[in-house]
Chain A
Amino acid sequence: MYSQIQILNKFKTGREKNLQLFFGKSLIKNIKICDIYRFNGNLNKDEYSLACELLSNPISQQVFFKNNTEKILKKFGIFSWILEIGYLPGVTDNLGNTAAEIICERLNFNKNNFKIRSSQLYLLLTSNKSIIREITKECSNSLVNKITLKTFKEFVKGKNNLSEQHTDIF
């Protein structure tokens, strides 16, 4: 059973380039930004495959899941920290709502029962932990965003399940 979809861009996106440029390559040695869609229920394998097809572009994007996380991420280099930025409960999540609508329409799910929360995962390689505070400031607003930080090892070990609790990382 699958409870989330994780999508990674195969190529470096403008956002990744901009962040690296802004902070400098010496501070952010490597960066990948990944989209996460978490469901309020579980999908079976067929439903999951269809949902992945609907939410990702097979040419430019790569879907990864529990068992192949390390293998897929290796292709993009080394990372030391994982920063997740999502929305606090009750805050409108347009990306999540739209994803839910797309899946409900295709899989004939009840729109009122099937919900998705979206978030973004920043995979970072930096030797300077304090720079993560600056990246967080640059990419999130503590009034509306839920922020979670893990080491890459913890992330891979935990089969990429980040804590559901809001964590004040600093």
Chain B
Amino acid sequence: MLKVRIIYRNSTQTFFENKYIAKSVNLNLSESSLKKIAKEGIKDEKGKRRGTLGLDIQSLKAIKSYFDIKGRKPKDIEIETLAQTWSEHCKHKIFSSRIDNVKKGLFDTYIKGATRKIIKKRKDNFCVSLFSDNAGGISFDKKWVVCHKVETHNTPSALDPFGGALTGITGVNRDCIGFGKGAKPIVNTYGFCFSNPNKKHALYRSKNRKDGLLSPRFIINGVINGVKVGGNCSGIPTPQGFVYFDDGYSAKPLVFCGTVGLIPKKIKGKFAHIKKARPGDNILMIGGRVGKDGIHGATFSSEELGTLSPVTAVQIGDPITQKKFSDAIIKELRDKDLYNSLTDNGAGGLSSSVGEMAKESGGFIVELDLVPLKYPGLQPWEIWISESQERMTMAVSSKNLKKVIRLLNKRGVEATVIGKFIKKNKAIVRYKKKEILNMDMNFLHEGYPRKFLKSKKPMFIQTKSVHIKTKNYKNTLLKILSGPNITSKEFISSQYDHEVQGTSVIKPLQGIGKVFSDSTAIKPLFNSNKCIGLSQGIYPNYTSIDAYNMAACCIDTAIRNLIVTGCDLSAIALLDNFCWCSPENFEKLYQLKMAAKACHDLSLAFETPFISGKDSMYNDFNGYDKKNRKIKISIPPTLLISSVGIIKSYKNLLTIVPQDVDDLVYIIGKTGNEIGGSEFAKIFAINNNNVPQVYKETAKENYNCFSKANQNKLITSAISVGIGGLGIALSKMAIASQKGLKVSLNNINTIDKKIDNNHILFSESQSRIVVTVNPYNKSRFENYFKKNQLSFVGKIIKSKKIIFTMHNEDEFEVGISSLNNKYRKDLFS
């Protein structure tokens, strides 16, 4: 019999007297009845459905078979627990299932597979913790480990943008605090994919114009505000991010939230990234209390947004409560080695956190009566799966329990023992002295039926290569510059505190012209010169044309953005976030497969390992328009590749800001007619399938040469050529420095023999970097590169304009003041 000693209990704790404890659920039903249970949930006492389980028929049948063998019907809390644990959100079934001939699934074959090969090849200690913990860890120096995790919070942000985004950022902070024995969150990152804020759409979740979706403007304001409150109120800098606009996100925005953490390599002689709950350890729940907020969050995020999306799944985070326990863990407990394991209470609540940690010891016994509640009236299954925020679960030995609770209480953190970890492979939950859940741990985690997914190659329609004959280059440049994907995001960075903790080195706004940066860097330790660089790559516009090259471009851009900041290729790690649509769409599934394959190929070619990732499927909306017509909107399948790199010294850091007049301007890499999916193609509504390709080997060679030249102080500034192309990159340099440029683009290295001037300016060909070099270092710099990879194009000039010369004696110039005005165009106008 488990004896739980209540060490801390609040005097006002109220226990509701609920006669209901747990009921058996009959699964011996027809397929249609089972489908109803899966989609709408188990019936409550009043006959009302509780909300989606997100399970498929096969899973319900597997549950039935398991309990048939046990000789009883499953209890409601058991089904709810399995629904959480087996949800797409927690188990990533699409990524772990066989797809076509990829037998071990996309994750194991392509993502983890590439990292496995890289580790074998590199034979260094760069990777510390991979895919097993709340975040991925890489070595910072001999004493410290850096961890990074990027999460998505898309569906909650569609329902309540502020609460959804706030919970997203505080949630990923907890992932970082829950890495190993607890990493200190040192930087937040963000990424938003929105629909055009100035477009009015009328979409409804229900018929007859009921349950209208929020306007893009409301979503944008709410999401930006949510991340601001989460980051600023927690005292964590938020320097790095991006915003991408496409009308495909009109029904569902994408909200990416990331956190980087720092943890000592060893604590009291033991590796800090390794944790293990031991049999006999107490299960200690710390932080906020449990309410009805967030119930069915994990299961509903595994489904399409529609009429049945539960509003209880919306939560609002509380960064102040979280800050208290974050400080208590990092500043009071961790370095004293007082606990054996900890993890975050996120999706699935206690059912997920206790269930995951119990894998380390064997099993668990939980007494639900002991869980402190926000208010009375919660049923046991609700307490067990509630996703009330700001909570973590710890495994603490009885010897250290009093001390741990005293230190937590000292920081105003509530801590309650709710059970024990045991050796036996059993998951047991009790309520009012009755056993309401009893399952084998193996079934809980591995009992879900494996899928066999099949994909279909989309019909490829080869379109003719279209050439826009316009020679109004200046207007085109200004139009692209003022597009929502390129314009300044200063209004966001200026709200997000990037100076707190005093570590910011490369800041989110660069130069006197305050250009929104693609990459930032921090120097996390006062006694070390080393820095951490952060960036990302994202090209959702390419997916429908070529998913493989889309993913390749994302990886190349994420890496290149760090290379131009001063990071070596060998010190970069990657994180993946796949946001895709329902797998019932076989063509989208094919795109997913190809994108994952590109991740494998590119990661391997650059030898940059994936250390963590998270996928979010079912980003579809099923609803109605204002004429009551059924409508389905799916997001453009989106892959975010985040990159984190360790920079040897702050002395190697580079910005995009050219330093002196007469500095020489070079382009590294080749330019092609690759305008498919580009901003240029968007403006002229061109159907062009020529999406940029990544030439891995030359790119790798160029990046390594760039780093060597930079280490020898031969480069004064550099910018990665990304969305918008060369014209935009050069414009950003001019805006940042408020200095002019005179460039001649008629002799640059090109991929194709014939190239149009518009394509030179606006093609988004990958692996290109624009650099400025002091004229004294001309020959030394040029010696680092092959002639066919380096183009000398001009110099920095005093006059405040950019003068472009191109093929066919085409020339134009544009003033920096015009560039400034367009770059700062109000997004909401």
- Least Cβ distance of A122 to chain B in Å? 16
Q: Is B252 an interface residue (CB 8 A)?
A: no
B319 within 8 A of A: yes
Could you tell me if A90 and B291 are in contact, using CB atoms closer than 8 angstroms?
yes
B293 in complex: contacting residue of A90, A93, A113, A137, CB < 8 Å = A90
A92 lies within 8 A of B389 (CB): yes
Cβ proximity bits B401-433 to A, threshold 8 Å, 1 near / 0 not: 000000000000000000000000000000000
Nearest-neighbour CB distance to chain B for A140, whole angstroms, equals 9
Smallest CB-CB separation from B311: which chain A residue? A143
Decide: B214 and A112 in contact? CB cutoff 8 A. no
Once bound together, how far apart are the Cα atoms of A144 and B314, in whole Å? 8
Contact B12 A112 (CB under 8 A): yes
CB pair B10 A112 closer than 8 Å: yes
- Write the chain A residue with the least CB distance to B412: A111
Task: Tell me the bound Cα distance from A91 to B291 in angstroms.
Answer: 9
**Cβ–Cβ contact A113 & B316, under 8 A:** no
- Partner pick for A143 among B11, B159, B375, B389, CB 8 A cutoff: B159
Contact indicator B160/A98 (Cβ below 8 Å)? no
User: Taking the complex as formed, is A101 at the interface, i.e. its CB lies under 8 A from any CB of chain B?
Assistant: yes
Cβ proximity bits B214-241 to A, threshold 8 Å, 1 near / 0 not: 1101100010000001000100000000
B94 to chain A, nearest CB (A): 28
Q: Are A112 and B11 also in contact (CB < 8 A) when A137-B215, A144-B160 are?
A: yes
Q: A137-B218, A144-B163 are known contacts. Are A92 and B315 too (CB-CB below 8 A)?
A: yes
Q: Is A3 an interface residue (CB 8 A)?
A: no
- Write out the residue numbers on chain A whose beta carbons fall within 8 Å of the beta carbon of B217: 138
Chain A min CB distance to B20 (Å): 20
Distance, CA A143 to CA B217, complexed state (A): 17
The main secondary structure of chain B at its interface with chain A is loop
Query: Is B320 in contact with A98, judged by CB distance below 8 angstroms?
Result: yes
Q: How far is the CA of A91 from the CA of B317 in the complex (A)?
A: 10
Question: Contacts A112-B12, A143-B311 known; A90 to B320 CB distance under 8 Å?
Answer: no
Q: Given A98, A101, A141, which contacts B214 in the complex, CB threshold below 8 Å?
A: A141
- Within the complex, what minimum Cβ distance (angstroms) separates A94 from chain B? 6
Instruction: Return chain B residues, CB-CB under 8 Å to A80.
Output: none
Interface contact A91-B316, CB-CB below 8 Å: yes
Q: Does A97 contact B (CB under 8 A)?
A: yes
Chain B residue nearest to A92 (CB atoms) is B316
A141 touching B160, Cβ below 8 Å: yes
Q: Give bound CA distance, A90 to B378, whole Å.
A: 12
What CA separation (Å) do A148 and B160 show in the bound complex? 19
> What are the residues of chain B within 8 A of A91 when measuring CB–CB?
163, 293, 316
Chain B residues numbered 313-348 whose CB sits less than 8 Å from any CB in chain A: 314-321
Distance of A111 from chain B, by nearest CB (Å): 8
Minimum C-beta distance from B825 to chain A (A)? 17
Chain A residues with Cβ under 8 A from B321's Cβ? 97
Q: Is B374 an interface residue (CB 8 A)?
A: yes
Confirm or deny: B795 has a beta carbon within 8 angstroms of a beta carbon on chain A.
no
Write the chain A residue with the least CB distance to B214: A141
CA distance A92 to B314 in the complex (A): 10
Binary CB contact string for chain B from 293 to 321 against chain A (1 if under 8 A, 0 otherwise): 10000000000000000010011111111
B218-A94 in contact (CB<8A): no
**Residue of B12, B222, B233 touching A113 (CB-CB under 8 A):** B12
- Looking at B159, B316, B319, B374, the one whose CB has the most chain A CB atoms below 10 A away is B316
Q: What B residues does A93 contact at CB under 8 A?
A: 316
Q: Give Cα distance in the complex from A113 to B13, angstroms.
A: 11
Nearest Cβ on chain B to A32's Cβ, whole angstroms:
20
Which of A93, A112, A138, A143 has most chain B Cβ within 10 Å? Answer: A143
Contact in complex: A94, B320 (CB < 8 Å):
yes
Contact (Cβ within 8 A) B316 A143: no
Contact call A138/B159, Cβ cutoff below 8 A: no
Nearest CB on B from A81, distance (A):
21
Task: Give CA–CA (A144, B215) in the complex, Å.
Answer: 16
Contact status B320-A138, CB under 8 Å:
no
Assembly CA distance A138 to B217 (angstroms)? 8
**B73 part of interface (Cβ distance < 8 Å):** no
A132 CB → nearest B CB, Å: 16
Give, as a whole number of angstroms, the nearest-CB distance from A91 to chain B: 6
B523 within 8 A of A: no
Question: Is B292 in contact with chain A by the CB < 8 A criterion?
Answer: yes
User: Hey, which chain B residues are within 8 Å of A138, CB to CB?
Assistant: 217-218
B609 to chain A minimum Cβ distance, whole angstroms, is 38
Interface 1/0 per residue, B131-174 and A, CB below 8 Å: 00000000000000000000000000001111100000000000
Say how far B409's CB is from chain A's closest CB, in angstroms. 12
Contact flags (1/0) for A76-99 with B, using CB distance below 8 Å? 000000000000001111100110
Q: Is B317's CB under 8 angstroms from A92's CB?
A: yes
Q: Looking at A93, A97, A112, A141, which has the most chain B CB atoms within 10 Å of its CB?
A: A141
Task: Render A121-157 as a binary contact track against B, CB cut-off 8 A, 1 for contact.
Answer: 0000000000000000110010110000000000000
Closest to A101 in B: B320
Q: Which of A98, A101, A137, A144 contacts B316 (CB 8 A)?
A: A144
Q: Return A6 CB to nearest CB of chain B, in Å.
A: 23
Contact B374 A90 (CB under 8 A): yes
Q: Can you name the residue of chain A whose Cβ is closest to the Cβ of B828?
A: A22
- CB-CB under 8 A from B215, the residues of chain A are 137
Chain A: CB-nearest residue to B215:
A137
Chain A residues near B162 (CB, 8 Å)? 141
Who on chain B is nearest to A87 by CB?
B316
Shortest C-beta distance, B333 to chain A (Å), equals 22
Q: Are B314 and A97 in contact (CB under 8 A)?
A: no
How many Å lie between the Cα of A91 and that of B389 in the bound state?
Answer: 12
Task: Tell me the complex Cα distance, A138–B318, Å.
Answer: 23
Residues in B neighbouring A112, C-beta threshold 8 A: 10-12
In B488-526, the 8 Å CB interface with A consists of none
Contacts of B314 in A (CB 8 A): 143-144
Given A143-B311, A144-B316, A92 contacting B160 (CB threshold 8 A): no
**Which residue of the partner chain, among A90, A98, A113, A137, contacts B292 with CB atoms under 8 Å?**
A90
Q: In the complex, how many angstroms separate the beta carbon of B535 from the nearest chain A beta carbon?
A: 31
Give the docked Cα–Cα distance between A112 and B289 (Å): 12
Contact A94–B229 (Cβ < 8 Å): yes
Q: Which of chain B's residues has its CB closest to A140's CB?
A: B218
Query: CB-CB < 8 A to A113: which residues of B?
Result: 12
Name the residue on B nearest A144 (C-beta).
B160
Residue ID in chain A nearest B159 by CB atoms: A143
- B229 A92 Cβ-Cβ under 8 A: no
Cβ of B318 and Cβ of A94 under 8 Å apart? Answer: yes
A97 to B389, CA, bound (A): 15
CA distance A143 to B312 in the complex (A): 9
- Are A97 and B320 in contact, CB atoms less than 8 angstroms apart? yes
Chain B residue with Cβ nearest A143:
B311
> In the complex, what residue of chain B is closest to A138 when comparing beta carbons?
B218
- B253 → A minimal CB distance (Å): 14
Known: A138-B218, A144-B163. A92 touches B311 (CB 8 A): no
| Minimum CB distance partner of B12 in chain A | A112
By a CB distance below 8 angstroms, the chain B residues around A90 are 291-293, 374-375
Q: CB-CB < 8 A to A101: which residues of B? A: 320
A28 to B149, CA, bound (A): 45
Shortest Cβ distance from residue B154 to the other chain A in the assembled complex, whole angstroms: 16
Select one of B11, B161, B318 contacting A92, CB under 8 A.
B318
13 additional A-B pairs beyond A92-B163, A92-B293, beta carbons within 8 Å, are A90-B291, A90-B292, A90-B293, A91-B316, A92-B316, A93-B316, A94-B229, A94-B318, A94-B319, A101-B320, A113-B12, A141-B222, A144-B160
Partner-B contacts on A (CB < 8 A): 90-94, 97-98, 101, 112-113, 137-138, 141, 143-144
22 A-B residue pairs with Cβ-Cβ distance under 8 Å, sorted by A, are A90-B293, A90-B374, A91-B163, A91-B293, A91-B316, A92-B293, A92-B389, A93-B316, A94-B229, A94-B318, A94-B320, A97-B321, A98-B320, A112-B12, A113-B12, A137-B215, A141-B214, A141-B218, A141-B222, A143-B314, A144-B160, A144-B314
Q: Which residues of B contact A (CB under 8 A)?
A: 10-12, 159-163, 214-215, 217-218, 222, 229, 233, 291-293, 311, 314-321, 374-375, 389
9 closest Cβ pairs, A-B complex: A92-B316, A112-B12, A143-B311, A92-B318, A144-B160, A141-B160, A143-B160, A94-B318, A143-B314
